[in-house]
Amino acid sequence: MSGGRNCEHAVEVKDLRKTYIVGDQQVNALDGVSAQIRKGEFWAIMGASGSGKSTMLNILGCLDRPTSGSYFLDGRDVSKMDDANLSDIRLKYLGFIFQSFNLIPQLTVAENIALPLYYQGVDEDESIVRAKELASMVGLSMRLDHKPTQLSGGQQQRVAIARALSNDPVLILADEPTGNLDSATSIEIMSLLSEMNKRGKTIVMVTHEPDIAEYAAHRLVMKDGRVDRIS
């Protein structure tokens, strides 16, 4: 696969379109979206329900393919890759943070953080060392052996952030990362994401909350599958 870490942009999308057939209707979930995101930037994708922001996130996360148009991730054209290659891209170049945390309940904090490394075939001892470093970074050094059910919502989201960082991703995708958290915990989580961004991580976050979007330096507002405005 071509591309590399010296590429200026983490994300380049051009004329992205995603069409679904619902009954006898054609629905254009994305209708010609173009954008460029430089490495180290923090973007918020906003828009009403049905605006296309979730479809956009799924394509950026290589969980779905566009019907047409191009998507370059760190210089690699991923828009036409097959499932096996997309899976490889997700494992090596992307980090995901979900509203519902998506932790494995049977695993400890350290094991959840190390999970992407296990899948990459990294030695178990090395994976746990990396997990401990990341747990410390997100303030969970004292919770390494806890299971997710023994943690608060904010602590679980901190585990998810550490897990997203474990493979040193080109791009972190956050889908409503504060959606299940109270306002005080939301501020803590967004402060942590801001700190990760200051350390050089590229972050794209979907949110419907204007105060959460304020943490991002750039905002892409979608409407009816199109880019309504960029600020």
Q: How far apart are the first and last CA of the chain?
A: 33
Q: How confident is residue 6, by pLDDT bands cut at 50, 70 and 90?
A: low
Q: How confident is residue 80, by pLDDT bands cut at 50, 70 and 90?
A: confident
Domain ranges of the chain: 36-68+81-230
The two tokens of residue 170 are 């080109």
pLDDT > 70? residue 102: yes
The share of the chain scoring above pLDDT 70, in percent, equals 97
pLDDT > 60? residue 190: yes
pLDDT, position 3: 52
pLDDT, position 145: 96
The predicted model gives 83-102 an average pLDDT of 93
3-class secondary structure, 44: strand
Burial class (CB in 10 A: 0-12, 13-18, 19+), 13: buried
The two tokens of residue 169 are 């991703």
For residue range 121-179, list pLDDT tens digits in order. 899 899 999 999 999 999 999 999 999 999 999 999 999 999 999 999 999 999 999 99
The predicted model gives 50-58 an average pLDDT of 93
Rounded Cα distance between 149 and 83, Å, is 33
Q: How confident is residue 4, by pLDDT bands cut at 50, 70 and 90?
A: low
| Phi and psi at residue 70, to the nearest 5° | -125, 150
91, 135 contact by CB (below 8 A): no
3-class secondary structure, 190: helix
Average pLDDT, the chain: 93
3-class secondary structure, 109: helix
CATH topology for 36-68+81-230?
Rossmann fold (3.40.50)
Buried b (16+ CB within 10 A) or exposed e, 18-30: beeeeeeeeebbb
pLDDT > 60? residue 82: yes
pLDDT > 50? residue 1: no
Which tops the pLDDT comparison, 3 or 13?
Answer: 13
Rounded Cα distance between 75 and 38, Å, is 11
Q: How confident is residue 7, by pLDDT bands cut at 50, 70 and 90?
A: confident
Rounded (5°) CA angle 137-139-143: 115
